[in-house]
């Protein structure tokens, strides 16, 4: 696997009401009800995210970890 493909997923658990507030400002790409769950795929604050509402009144939001604004530095051998 290349270094470019090592993005990490970040997840947060919170109240379903908090997710509802986020979805008001989001651009929803897709949503799907599956049993007691609802799954959302959306864009929010320039980031692609997914969220799942849980039957216990909580939600799980998943996104990619923020990348550094500058490229990674590489060590170079000064003897070359």
Q: Is the pTM of this model over 0.95?
A: no
Sequence spans of domains, the chain: 28-65
Contacts of 58 (CB under 8 A, 6+ apart): 13, 14, 15, 16
Contacts of 9 (CB under 8 A, 6+ apart): 62, 63, 64, 65
Q: What is the pLDDT of residue 13?
A: 96
Residue 26 has pLDDT above 60, yes or no: yes
User: Residue 62 gets which letter from DSSP?
Assistant: E
Tell me the percentage of the chain whose pLDDT exceeds 90: 68
Question: Rounded CA gap, 61 and 52, in Å?
Answer: 7
Residue 3 has pLDDT above 70, yes or no: no
Residues 47-57: pLDDT tens digits? 999 999 999 99
Mean per-residue pLDDT for 49-73? 84
């Amino acid at each position: 696997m290349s270094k470019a493909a090592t993005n990490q997923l970040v997840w947060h658990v919170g109240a379903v009401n908090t997710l509802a507030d986020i979805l008001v400002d989001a651009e929803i790409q897709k949503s799907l009800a599956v049993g007691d769950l609802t799954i959302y795929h959306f864009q929010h604050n320039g980031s692609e995210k997914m969220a799942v509402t849980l039957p216990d009144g909580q939600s799980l939001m998943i996104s990619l970890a923020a990348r550094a604004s500058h490229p990674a530095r590489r060590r170079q051998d000064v003897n070359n």
